[in-house]
Amino acid sequence: MAASETILLQLNSQEEARFWAKVQKALASSDDLRRPQWRGDPNPLAGHCYVASEALFHLMGGKAAGLTPHTVRVDGVVHWFLRTASGRIVDPTASQFEQKVPYHLSRGRGFLTRGPSKRARTLMGRMSV
C-alpha cells in the first residue's frame, strides 16, 4: 500500500472529512495563488487544481509514496489531480465541475519544480497540516 493511501486510510471518515475541509478552506481563502485568468472566480476551487495537487503531492510523500500527477481536459481546460499506485484518485478540486471528471482519459505528468513551488509552499502553510 502506498504511503499516500496509508495516510488517508489511517484517518477515520470524520478525520478524512476534516482533512479535506481544511484543504478546501485553505483554497477558498487563496485567490492570490490562482493564475490571473482565474482570480476572482466565484467558484473557490476553480483555478486551484495545479497548486492544490502539487501541495498534496509533497505533503503525502510524492513519487516515493506512489503518487503521480495527472492531467485531463475538462470543458476544454487542463485539470490536474493525483493518482496513487493502486489507481485511487486524489482530486481536491473535483467538485468545481458540474459533470464527472473523465479520469480514464488522463495522462501522467510532472510538476514544473522538483520541490514544492512558492505557491505550493504558501498553500501548505495555510493548510497547517
How far apart, in whole angstroms, are the C-alpha atoms of residue 73 and residue 57? 20
| Per-residue pLDDT at 129 | 57
Burial of 6 (0-12, 13-18, 19+ CB in 10 A): middle
Per-residue model confidence as pLDDT tens for the chain (129 residues)? 344 444 444 455 677 677 778 888 999 999 999 999 999 999 999 999 999 999 999 888 889 888 999 999 998 999 999 998 888 898 989 989 988 999 999 999 999 888 999 999 999 999 875
How far apart, in whole angstroms, are the C-alpha atoms of residue 116 and residue 29? 19
Strand locations in the chain (E): 68-74, 77-83, 89-90, 107-108
| Per-residue pLDDT at 12 | 59
How far apart, in whole angstroms, are the C-alpha atoms of residue 7 and residue 23? 15
| Per-residue pLDDT at 77 | 92
pTM assigned to the model: 0.85
* Helix (H), strand (E) at residue 61: none
